[in-house]
Structure 1
Amino acid sequence: MSEITFASMARASREELERIFAAGILPDLEQLAGWEFRGHNPPAWAKAAGITKFKKGFFRKSTGPFRYEGYNIPVKVSSISEPWECKPSNANPKRFGFYAVMPSSEARDAKDRRYDNAIFLNYAAAPENPRLDPSRVIKDYVVQVEGNPDLFLGKAFLTVGPARVFSNFFLLERDCQTNFTGS
């Protein structure tokens, strides 16, 4: 794979994505805060579930147990060559599936300290998520694609009892600034 782009990663094999992830660098949390990112889940099952496209946002907290948090926004289903249209609207996006953000090396549970080159998105730790919210089982790791400060590759795991089970890779590309601060 020559130049790595959002589109080329969307077509890449799992092995290629593993190589890109391994070569990725630790994202700077200050450079993520205040931004929303176009997201894409490449697996076929995501298309069947209607969740191939989404947005993720990151913000800095002034209070609370975590300095950085983030959220997801559902997006209307369309091809990745078409614009990301937030649900219910771009002007009033639904923010849900919140997560605490930290370098993986700072995760409380040793099982979650998997990748020194990644940030850790912990859905179970975000106080905004209801106690029985199904997103609380998600554990994501995100690296910046080497050489591109606007392109990121994520690796999603599901918590099953004490185990962390790989789910899928996902892609993120910087989209727009946001003033959302979690309130």
Structure 2
Amino acid sequence: MVDYTMPGAYQRSTGTFFTVLQRRAAAHASAAAPQGGRVLDVGCGPGMLVRTLARRRPDLRVDGVDVTPQMVEHARALLARAGLADRTHVVAGDAAALPYPDASFDAITSTMSFHHWSPLGVAVREVLRVLRPTGTAYLYDVGVAPFDGVRAAVAGVPGWTCERVLVRGIVLPSVLYRGVRLRRVTS
């Protein structure tokens, strides 16, 4: 069994499988964030997506939060080595109690994390709390993850919607991963 609290073991076991998913997450978050915006990766693990976002959009401030201290330490070192420490910030924290003020982020991503969030409804409401009114969150996970729980949590927050997002593989839609977009309902 892989110890997913250890960055090296995590990266060896997920490597290429997550690359396509993280590229998709980076593309969606980059498109959603305004010039000079702020993006959060919830469950950032070893910081790969934070690094990808910061490289892709040099105008963005990119934050990451992860519950595992070893992952946070690894992510900080990775970002420092990449010369991105001035525009990135990674902290230890739980998705069900995000350590940020209300309406802090223009875009939020999460890849392969929300199936761990507990309680799921509280964590989803936390994501909506720290998202700016004009912001968008993209949550991606394996197809068997509790997407119904995400939809139910969003339905309980007036003014927000949860929509399915196509996760493309290299050529065709992915059969492994699914995604949803959370955003304000527009008239």
Question: Which TM-score band applies after superposition, normalised by the shorter structure?
Answer: under 0.3
Bigger relative contact order, structure 1 or 2 (CA pairs below 8 A, ≥6 apart): 1
Of Structure 1 and Structure 2, the greater strand share is in: 1
